[in-house]
Amino acid sequence: MAHATPAPLTQLSEEESLFYSTVRKFAEEAIAPHVRAMDDEQRLDEGLVEQVFELGLMGIEIPEELGGAGGSFFDAVLAIEAISTVDPAVAVLVDVHNTLVINALRRWGSPAQQQHWLPKLAAGTVGAYALSEAGSGSDAFALQTRAEKLPSGFRLNGRKLWISNAREAGLFIVFATLDPSAGYRGITAFLVEKGAHGFAVGRKEDKLGIRASSTCELVFDGCEVAEENLLGEPGKGYMIAIETLNEGRIGIGAQMLGLAEGAWGHAARYAKERRQFGKPIAEFQAVQFTLAEMATEIEAAKLMVYNAARLKDAGKPYVREAAMTKYFASQVAERVASQCVEVFGGNGFVRDYPAEKYYRDAKVGKIYEGTSNMQLATIAKQVLGSR
């Protein structure tokens, strides 16, 4: 993992370049053969999930003494980008686990919770982050899931929707309202294990894109949570959510960047192979200009993603940059994926070629972990100084 002085923007240190190349090679050799089947079957290959753990990609920021790689947030971003070039659905597994679950535990978990859970999360337990509900999307704190204080802990009742990694996860960070009269200051975070009494993973969503990534409903029916599984302090759940989602937006930016890079690579190769009027279509200026425009937007997105990640690692303010990164990278991914389909022509519209999957996968970038409109609202507050 990289520990050198941060390089400027898109320039990577030797260690960072080696790490990115290693993950990219893994994605191309181990993930690529399963992409079509996983998309068709709407589930991750179990052996592939094990390989992701074995490569150390599920404990990037976990300290070495706790079984992790001892890397940086920037390392996690590089891994998400590299995997997304091949399959953004697999990148969701790595992204949510690292940027949301592990970072929340590292920042807010007690020493005992960290000692217990971080080694497990590095070795084979998948993490999920349960905030969203049917009436709580962009209005993230309009939670209906309730937590009741008991003499020995808490009892949870309610439902969560659109929870990524839900089918594979062994640990869930669950947000519920402990004190409704306190509004968002009553929101509290809990650590809930798979198999807990009164807790069940419900229906899996049938999605447009990133279909291999499990997105499920969670049901809490009198689910009892021990006192030691309270994450942070009562009523501080909103702070945990805000902080981790700010980091997570950079992760989504990296996912969309990798998606765009993957789509561009397929488009460029196809343009050199596809012949019309006696020559490769890459020799036509219109196609050249399309590919050049795509490459320029990808480079701009990369500058934003890397800069936001380096700011986060340096302990500097990054909320504005994170919002801009997610907003812009998701726009670029959708445009580049669309242009990739057009370069492929009729072949871009059928499932025998990779273009259509990148196009389907790109759309969610504007929606999850904060819609584009929510990112614009955040950016406007930051640049205009409004409250």
44 within a domain of the structure (yes/no): yes
Residues 220 and 295 in one domain: no
- Whether residues 261 and 375 fall in one domain: yes
- Are 227 and 244 in the same domain? no
In a domain, 66, yes or no: yes
Question: Catalytic site residues?
Answer: 369
Q: By residue range, what is the domain housing residue 147?
A: 128-235
Co-location of 366 and 272 in the same domain = yes
CA–CA separation, 348 vs 59, rounded Å?
36
Residue 60 included in any domain: yes
In tens digits, the chain (387 residues) has pLDDT values of: 443 333 445 679 999 999 999 999 999 999 999 999 999 999 999 999 999 999 999 999 999 999 999 999 999 999 999 999 999 999 999 999 999 999 999 999 999 999 999 999 999 999 999 999 999 988 888 899 999 999 999 999 999 999 999 999 999 999 999 999 999 999 999 999 999 999 999 999 999 999 999 999 999 999 999 999 999 999 999 999 999 999 999 999 999 999 999 999 999 999 999 999 999 999 999 999 999 999 999 999 999 999 999 999 999 999 999 999 999 999 999 999 999 999 999 999 999 999 999 999 999 999 999 999 999 999 999 999 855
Task: Determine contact, residues 264/309, Cβ cutoff 8 Å.
Answer: no
Residues 121 and 132 in one domain: no
Distance of alpha carbon 247 from alpha carbon 47, whole angstroms: 29
From 75, 108, 125, the end of a domain falls on 125
96 and 165 co-located in one domain: no
Query: Which residue type does 209 have?
Result: G
Q: Which of 189, 218, 235 is the last residue of a domain?
A: 235
- Final residue belonging to a domain, choices 235, 256, 288: 235
- pLDDT tens figures, 2-38: 433 334 456 799 999 999 999 999 999 999 999 999 9
My answer on whether 199 and 257 are in the same domain is no
Rounded to 5 degrees, what angle do the CA atoms 301, 103, 183 make? 100
What is the domain count for the chain? 3
> Are residues 258 and 365 part of one domain?
yes
Q: What's the pTM?
A: 0.95
- C-alpha atoms less than 13 angstroms from C-alpha of 165 in its C-beta half-sphere: 26
* 208 CB neighbour count, 10 Å cutoff: 11
